Amino acid sequence: MVQYSQARLDASFSALSDVTRRGVLEQLGRSDASITELADKFHMTLTGMKKHVGVLEHAGFVTTEKIGRVRRCRLGRRRLEEEAAWIENYRQVWAARFDALDQVVENLKLREKTDD
C-alpha cells in the first residue's frame, strides 16, 4: 500500500474543508489578490482573512509576499497528487465493496426466481 504523509494530508484536507478557503483558492486561480481584496470579496475582517490565508499557506496552496504595506497572495506550487491518490485508493476499495454487494443482490434475485 502507498504511504502517505499523514501531516500533509491533514493540512490539505483541513484547508480544503472550509468553504471560504475553497473560495479563496478559486479566486486566486483567476488572479493574484491582496489580503484586503480577499477580505472585501468575502465580506470578512482582515484578521479573519489572514487566518484563512495562513491555513492555506501552511498547506502549501497559497504563497504570500509583502510588497510595501500590502501582502499579495497567489496560488502556491503545491498540487494535489498525493491527496488524489489517497482518495482514489479509497474509491477503489468502495467500488470493490459495491461490486461485491451487487453480486450478492444478483444472486438473491436469481435464487428468488428459481424458487418461484
- The CA distance from 13 to 21, in Å, is 11
Question: pLDDT, tens digit, for every residue of 18-74?
Answer: 999 999 999 999 999 999 999 999 999 999 999 999 999 999 999 999 999 999 999
- Average pLDDT, stretch 68-97? 91
- How confident is the model at residue 54, as a pLDDT? 97
pTM, 2 dp: 0.77
Kindly indicate the confidence band of residue 103, based on its pLDDT and cuts at 50, 70 and 90: very high
Dihedral angle over CA of 38, 39, 44, 47, nearest 10: 120
Quote the CA–CA distance of 76 and 79 in Å, as a whole number.
Answer: 8
pLDDT of res. 46: 96
- Report the pLDDT value the prediction gives residue 116, as an integer from 0 to 100: 66
CATH topology of domain 6-75: Arc Repressor Mutant, subunit A (1.10.10)
Distance CA 71, CA 10 (A): 26
Residue 115 has pLDDT above 80, yes or no: no
Domain borders along the chain are: 6-75, 79-116
